Chain A
């Protein structure tokens, strides 16, 4: 029997998973998926910012388009740190395509206008 707290949403359900991968304590179906994923290959969303060379902001906020394997978090952060962008860029522009071959893009999460 494994116990964990679901992190899919802020509700934070207390999950229990038995030897047969039966999940209980979940409020929604995503809890089941989370629990099984978390035991086999844990994944996390990553958010950060990139440097703006020209635009109305100093930093542009970015996020992974999908969760990435937990053990790749710092490698992906290193890629994000290398990026510099110029405005204008609409929200949800691809900033890094297929980062480290993970089939995940780094996308912007805010509108960047020209200065």
Chain B
């Protein structure tokens, strides 16, 4: 069995950045394992532009970003396997993968970084009543059919959920000649980036139905009609507001869930809100030696932040392999009022020069304050003109403010 210092599962933006960073921090015995035929992950089907402003200081399309990131990996001659599916990880870090050329293989690692991405919530996950015809699919699946395979999935399209993939696909389907009849969002605000509302919906006069959802799907064999309906502030249907719309395609953009079956089997502790593993400031999970980054840790808005997170995970995994990671002074980081989750949820300040806490707020805020507390004592306050749940926020706290820690809390309050 071949032994490596570090095995990275997933060759998307998170895994690639982690591999490059671990290598640059002195670890050369690395194997990255990717299930698809190309490095780059989901970026390859995201042919639109807007990627890379933070990482490369220019605006790239998804495939271009993937190409830049992969070339960093190739330049360092880091080992990687394509078309290879990891099917098991044992408690002593034996990783089993399979592929066509090598068949069933086992390799062993001192540390593992999981960068396995996320999956889309399905019709079943949100339980839309009605018939079960063809023509109902997730937006990302339609994106793959259209941008990678070259198949149009329909001509009269409705989109449920105003997540970014749904908005991007609304524009994409219109450009390819489909009629997009609308986007329904159950919340009273959109979950997509503002720029995507403007350039994907407003530009093409596609209506956005806020506080609306799909109440019923109708069709024998093929999708024929959907019934949309307004919801109240408890997200319940309002009787009498139903509207029937003739469509042949319903795309679902109703959220992404981190995908971690391999390490969930190992008993890694999962965060109830993010559905990804619980990690500390080093991106180490509850199982020492297993690290997590990217969309399998928590769903990001921007690939640039995935790359940054991968870079950190690679750096700390390298430290772990070199026995330089401290774990004896951990304190908790909690989400206070106005905050739905914080990441990381634990910190040992011996490992860091400054602490970055990522979080999302629970609802849209106008002028507001982000408050970080140590116990009951406020240690940092930041004024913000606005905050929305669809945009991940961060606070960075210098180490000199992190002395005598009890526990940390992040809050958002109206200004």
Contact = CB atoms under 8 A, between A and B. Distances in A.
Contact of B195 (A6, A49, A77): A6
Interface in A73-115: 73-74, 77, 91-92, 109-111
Given A10-B301, A44-B199, A73-B175, A49 B48 contact: no
B53 A10 contact: yes
Interface of B: 44, 47-50, 53, 59-64, 67, 146-150, 175-176, 193-195, 197-199, 203, 301-302, 385-386, 391
A1 interface: no
A12 B197 CA distance: 10
Interface of A: 4-12, 14, 44-49, 51, 57-59, 61, 63, 70, 73-74, 77, 91-92, 109-111
A44 B302 CA distance: 20
Contacts of B50: 9-10
Contact of B53 (A9, A12, A57): A9
Contacts of A59: 147-150
A109 B64 contact: yes
A5 B194 CA distance: 7
Nearest to B194: A12
B67 A63 contact: no
Given A59-B150, A111-B67, 18 more contacts: A5-B194, A9-B53, A9-B195, A10-B50, A10-B195, A12-B391, A14-B386, A44-B203, A46-B175, A47-B48, A47-B49, A49-B147, A51-B150, A59-B147, A63-B47, A77-B175, A91-B64, A109-B61
A108 to B, nearest CB: 9
Contacts of A47: 47-49, 61
B150 A12 contact: no
Contacts of A4: 198
A10 B302 contact: yes
Contact of B197 (A5, A46, A92): A5
Leading 7 A-B pairs by shortest Cβ distance: A12-B194, A7-B195, A110-B63, A61-B47, A109-B61, A5-B194, A59-B150
B47 A109 contact: yes
Given A10-B53, A14-B386, A48-B175, A70 B203 contact: yes
B48 to A, nearest CB: 5
A75 B285 CA distance: 51
